[in-house]
């Protein structure tokens, strides 16, 4: 949430910064701005709107500076407006700060600073940081910065500039991601690697409560706890610049759906990591999948799958788990966090709560080196590549395959599955890529979306392992099309929602190819009798998916539903990559 960027080097910083912000836009897009040091001091061109709108109004090509910081915002404190857009300055305009996160004690700090004569311009929590630096500054920028950080409670990734120190950007991190991209005679700072992948793949990843100084030719990092200088590892990032580009597609979402076949097969690369997790959870009494949103649906699939294979598992929404189930955990429990970004605040908090109770923790994550991977006892990657569209698609496929593999390995280890059955399932998982490709090649979904573009209410129904598919199909449609869509367990319909069924409603029913088929058919008859339209999804159904083992059907059934949501959004003239009010990577509670 919120993307921050920094650049110091020989290029024109305003232009570089706007390019970087564009690549971070999926993190927030209600306003944007930069601060750069020009001949006459710090300039802060900024404004309300998406990065391109702000860029067009400011014309960064006409600006000149070799050092600067930038920000693309997802508002937390204060409405989206030019005055609340980052960066923010102190009273004198000597220090500028961009920030991602939430300063929980900002009101307290603001009161204290106001009493000491500081005057504030914005409604943001961030502005206190600039005033704190001003308050502590005595000729040493880094020391003032560290003192200011010492006063902050909450989460932050911060970049700071000063006209008194024109060669350096100061950086800090606590519970919000921040990376330094290491170039030749230039350095980049960003919330996420795609911002600088076109320039360098060498990076330093800051950990919580670390801060540092970045110049064009040097970096130095320190621990906020001990004040000691740190020897930070240089990491080589595996993602390529091309992967983070839109290619020939109109939207990142469409590109990422077309990468779903690869995402399925790439997740199998995590086999060894998943086996290590499986070894640890085999001695645990209970396994909890914990996640948010789409990733939670992958966790719910994991629960059903484990249960189908004779193993006990639960799936919990992280924001609920952290305040409920977490309190009853002990060392016999395992918590497996699922997350595309590895930065979701609620998921991280749930893992921290589980660790505090002595539970084993592991994560299934896409972003290498992200916070969850640093926190958990073990990590397995989905290897889905960068996912830029706000709505998660290919990462979900990666999560489903990873969870399936983990469940199969666990069942084999616990003797619930013999070697032959395991190998049969594993072979089919390897074939899933082609089956997804068949769905994408069939090209049927756009026409269907056209016929449903004006429908106002959708229900998605599924049973057992396809219940998560129903939830996920509905989530995707509502978040990018702003149409009312509900995912429901098919058997629950008659306990309430059946009252809503009439000719204005369309129901997408995911039809299993197993013993539950008849049950869903009965549910469909009940719906049709009330006048609603039903579209079935399954082998030889209205929306066709290839045959596979029923336990893997959710990996296929969601693919046309992703496309359906995409086309409805486009037909409504919306931007599916940047749905209103949302941002990727939810780093606040
Ligand atoms: C929906 C979506 C969100 C995320 C959720 C968790 O399309 O993308 O629901 O799944 O915010 O994010 P991660 O997976 O990064 O933890």
Mutate to test the pocket of ligand 1, among 322, 478, 586 (most ligand atoms within 8 A of CB): 586
Q: What is the pLDDT of residue 247?
A: 84
Task: Write the CA distances from 462 to 24, 291, 489, integer angstroms.
Answer: 35, 20, 5
Residue indicated by tokens 């500028």:
96
586 pocket-lining for ligand 1 (C-beta < 6 Å): yes
Yes or no: say if 501 and 531 are a contact pair by the CB < 8 Å rule: yes
Between the CA of 589 and the centroid of ligand 1 the distance, in Å, is 13
- Atom number, ligand 1, closest to the C-alpha of residue 347: 16
The phi, psi pair for 314, rounded to 5°, reads: -125, 155
Beta-sheet strands, E only, within 490-529: 505-510
- Spatial separation of the C-alpha atoms in residues 79 and 424, rounded to whole Å: 55
Q: What is the pLDDT of residue 480?
A: 97
Q: What is the pLDDT of residue 585?
A: 76
Yes or no: say if 36 and 42 are a contact pair by the CB < 8 Å rule: yes
Yes or no: say if 78 and 107 are a contact pair by the CB < 8 Å rule: no
Q: What is the pLDDT of residue 75?
A: 83
Q: Which sign does the torsion angle of CA 523, 529, 534, 539 carry? A: positive
Walk me through the domains of the chain, giving residue ranges and CATH numbers: 2-241 (3.60.20.10), 260-571 (3.40.50.10490)
pTM above 0.85, yes or no: yes
366 pocket-lining for ligand 1 (C-beta < 6 Å): no
Between the CA of 445 and the centroid of ligand 1 the distance, in Å, is 24
Question: Can you give the length of the chain in residues?
Answer: 589
Q: What is the pLDDT of residue 342?
A: 95
257 pocket-lining for ligand 1 (C-beta < 6 Å): no
Q: Encode the chain (589 residues) as per-residue pLDDT tens digits.
A: 789 999 999 999 999 999 999 999 888 888 999 999 988 899 999 999 999 999 998 888 888 999 999 999 988 888 889 999 999 999 999 999 999 999 999 999 999 999 999 999 999 999 999 999 999 999 999 999 999 999 999 999 999 999 999 999 999 999 899 999 999 999 999 999 999 999 999 999 999 999 999 999 999 999 999 999 999 999 999 888 788 888 889 999 999 999 999 999 999 999 999 999 999 999 999 999 999 999 999 999 999 999 999 999 999 999 999 999 999 999 999 999 999 999 999 999 999 999 999 999 999 999 988 999 999 999 999 999 999 999 999 999 999 999 999 999 999 999 999 999 999 999 999 999 999 999 999 888 999 999 999 999 999 999 999 999 999 999 999 999 999 999 999 999 989 999 999 999 999 999 988 889 999 999 999 999 999 999 999 999 999 999 999 999 999 999 999 999 999 999 999 999 999 988 877 877 7
- DSSP, residue by residue, 425-443: HHHHHHHHHHHHHHHHHH-
Q: What is the pLDDT of residue 90?
A: 97
Which positions are catalytic? 2, 584
Yes or no: say if 266 and 382 are a contact pair by the CB < 8 Å rule: yes
Q: What is the pLDDT of residue 71?
A: 96
The phi, psi pair for 104, rounded to 5°, reads: -70, -30
From the centroid of its chain, how far is CA 202? 22
CB atoms within 10 A of CB 226: 9
Give the closest residue (by CA) to ligand 1 atom 5. 293
Mutate to test the pocket of ligand 1, among 340, 386, 579 (most ligand atoms within 8 A of CB): 340
Q: Which two three-digit tokens encode residue 52?
A: 């391109």
Q: Which of 278, 403, 412 is nearest to 334 (CA)?
A: 278
DSSP H or E segment with residue 260: helix 260-267
Mutate to test the pocket of ligand 1, among 289, 294, 376 (most ligand atoms within 8 A of CB): 294
């Amino acid at each position: 949430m919120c993307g921050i960027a920094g650049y110091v080097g020989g290029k024109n910083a305003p232009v570089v910064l706007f390019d970087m912000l564009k690549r971070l836009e999926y993190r927030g897009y209600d306003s944007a701005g930069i601060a750069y040091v020009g001949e006459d001091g710090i300039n802060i061109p900024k404004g309300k709107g998406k990065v391109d709108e702000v860029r067009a109004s400011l014309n960064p090509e006409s600006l000149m500076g070799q050092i600067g910081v930038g920000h693309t915002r997802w508002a937390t404190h204060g409405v989206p407006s030019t005055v609340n857009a980052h960066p923010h300055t102190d009273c004198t305009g000597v220090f500028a700060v961009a920030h991602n996160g939430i300063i929980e004690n900002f009101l307290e700090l603001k009161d204290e600073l106001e009493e000491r004569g500081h005057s504030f311009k914005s409604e943001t929590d961030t502005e206190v940081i600039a005033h704190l630096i001003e308050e502590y500054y005595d000729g040493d920028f880094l020391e003032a910065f560290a003192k200011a950080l010492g006063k902050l409670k909450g989460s932050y990734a911060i970049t700071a500039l000063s006209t008194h120190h024109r060669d350096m950007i100061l950086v800090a991190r606590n519970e919000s991601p921040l990376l330094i991209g290491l170039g030749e005679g230039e350095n980049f700072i960003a919330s996420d690697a795609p911002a600088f992948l076109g320039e360098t793949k060498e990076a330093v990843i800051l950990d919580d409560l670390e801060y540092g100084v970045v110049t064009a030719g040097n970096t130095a990092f320190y621990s906020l706890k001990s004040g000691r200088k740190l020897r930070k590892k240089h990491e080589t990032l595996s993602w390529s610049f091309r992967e983070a580009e839109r290619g020939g597609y109109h939207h990142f979402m469409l590109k990422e759906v077309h990468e779903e076949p690869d995402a399925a097969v790439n997740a199998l690369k995590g086999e060894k990591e998943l086996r290590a997790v499986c070894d640890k959870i085999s001695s645990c009494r209970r396994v909890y999948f914990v996640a948010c949103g789409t990733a939670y649906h992958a966790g719910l699939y994991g629960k059903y799958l484990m249960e189908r294979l004779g193993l006990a598992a639960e799936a919990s929404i992280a924001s609920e788990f952290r305040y409920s189930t977490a309190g009853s955990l002990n060392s016999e429990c395992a918590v497996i966090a699922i997350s595309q970004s590895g930065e979701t605040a609620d998921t991280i908090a749930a893992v921290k709560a589980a660790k505090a109770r002595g539970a084993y923790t592991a994560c299934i994550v896409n972003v290498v080196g992200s916070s969850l991977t640093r926190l958990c006892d073990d990590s397995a990657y989905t290897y889905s590549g960068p996912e830029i569209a706000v709505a998660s698609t290919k990462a979900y496929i990666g999560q489903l395959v990873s969870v399936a593999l983990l469940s199969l390995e666990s069942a084999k280890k616990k003797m619930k599955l013999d070697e032959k059955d395991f190998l049969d399932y594993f072979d089919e998982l390897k074939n899933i890529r082609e089956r997804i490709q068949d769905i994408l090649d069939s090209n049927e979904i756009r026409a269907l979306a056209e016929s449903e573009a004006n429908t106002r209410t959708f229900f998605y129904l599924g049973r057992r392992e396809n219940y998560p598919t129903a939830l996920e199909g509905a989530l995707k449609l509502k978040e990018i099309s702003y149409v009312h869509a509900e995912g429901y367990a098919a058997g629950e319909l008659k306990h309430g929602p059946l009252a809503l069924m009439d000719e204005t409603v369309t129901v997408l029913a995911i039809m299993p190819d197993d013993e539950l088929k008849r049950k869903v058919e009965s549910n469909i008859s009940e719906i049709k009798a009330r006048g609603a339209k039903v579209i079935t999804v399954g082998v030889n159904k209205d929306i066709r998916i290839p045959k596979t083992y029923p336990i893997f059907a959710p990996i296929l059934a969601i693919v046309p539903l992703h496309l359906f949501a995409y086309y409805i959004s486009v037909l409504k003239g919306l931007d599916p990559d940047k749905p209103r009010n949302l941002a990727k990577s939810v780093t606040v509670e």
